[in-house]
Amino acid sequence: MSEIKIAKTLDAKNLSCPLPILKTKKAIADIEIGEFLEVLSTDPGSVADFKAWTNSTGHELADQSTENGIFRYIIKKTK
Amino acid sequence: MSEKKKRLAIIASKADIPGAYPPLILATTAAAMDYEVGIFFTFFGLNMLKKNKLNKLKVTPAGETAMPMPIPQIVGILPGMTGMATMMMKSWMKGANVAKLQELMDLTVEAGAKLIACQMTMDVMKIKRKQLINECEVGGAAAFLEFASEADITLYM
């Protein structure tokens, strides 16, 4: 993981479904292909949603971790 | 992207708060997942396309036995109870940071979703085209079916 450089961070904490996904869709448009987007969410449902969203859109969920109730996603833009 | 996009088709027939959210949540999310989205607004659902209407939608406690209000069902039909239930629900939703209906509709429009207003409902309820948002089109069952015939998911709500 050490080689991953975050191009942009999206703070989606305290937002309910579907806002974290909708804001992620917008945020990923702001970075270049091959770059990484970091998303922070407090929505426990986001774990399943980010898996589904990346599966569906083809972007890569490079890493997912949880700390103190905050879900952190690292998404690699692939297209 | 050369592959064919997935498509979601929804019939929205309700316009109380719990009825208006699901079509817009699914439409915006599907658009974020690169789906093509189309919604046919019919019967009460057509209210969702009226200008300046979304923020005025209500929820009634009458008949909704799962509504978490500390009152007997019969009280739900009294004047003022719908307003009270609406106020309570809006405050719970605000507390949970749920997007406003208008915000979701704006995103649906922005995503280029096909929004079809049911012509028959407009005739029945005497709704004029100019009362509806500019971004919708007016059509009938055939217009929706043509769109839905190519859909991967079709939902009636």
DSSP states of A12-23 as a string?
ETTPPTTHHHHH
A1 located within any domain: no
Flag if B29 and A57 touch (Cβ within 8 Å). no
Flag if B32 and A19 touch (Cβ within 8 Å). no
B-chain CB neighbours of A21 within 8 Å are: 29, 32-33
Average pLDDT, chain B: 94
Q: Which phi and psi (to 5°) does residue B50 adopt? A: -70, 145
A-chain CB neighbours of B98 within 8 Å are: 16
Q: Is B50 exposed, middle or buried (0-12, 13-18, 19+ CB in 10 A)?
A: middle
CA distances from B63 to B32, B59, B107, B130 (A): 35, 11, 32, 34
Helix axes A19-28, A46-57, angle to 10 degrees: 40
Q: Catalogue all structural domains in chain B, each as residue range(s) with its CATH number.
A: 7-58+100-156 (3.40.1260.10)
Task: Band the pLDDT of B44: cuts 50, 70, 90.
Answer: very high
Residue of chain A whose Cα is closest to the Cα of B33: A57
Q: Which residue has the higher pLDDT, A4 or A38?
A: A38
Residue B11 in this model has a pLDDT that exceeds 60: yes
Q: How many domains does chain A have?
A: 1
Question: How many C-beta atoms lie closer than 10 Å to residue A61's C-beta?
Answer: 14
Q: Does A51 touch chain B (CB under 8 A)?
A: no
CB of B115 closer than 8 Å to CB of B136: yes
Distant-in-sequence, close-in-space partners of A45: CB < 8 Å, separation ≥ 6: A17
Element (H, E) at A31: none
CB of B121 closer than 8 Å to CB of B44: no
Average pLDDT for A16-42: 97
Task: Band the pLDDT of B75: cuts 50, 70, 90.
Answer: confident
Structure tokens, A50: 């980010």
Residue A14's domain comprises 6-76
A-chain CB neighbours of B97 within 8 Å are: 14-16, 19
CA B140 to chain centre: 17
Flag if B32 and A17 touch (Cβ within 8 Å). no
CB of B41 closer than 8 Å to CB of B124: no
CATH of the domain at A44: 3.30.110.40
CA pair distance B109, B9, nearest whole angstrom: 15
Residue B69 in this model has a pLDDT that exceeds 60: yes
Catalytic residues of A: 17
Residue A2 in this model has a pLDDT that exceeds 60: no
The pLDDT of residue B74 is: 86
A22 located within any domain: yes
Of B28, B34, B97, the CB nearest to A22: B28
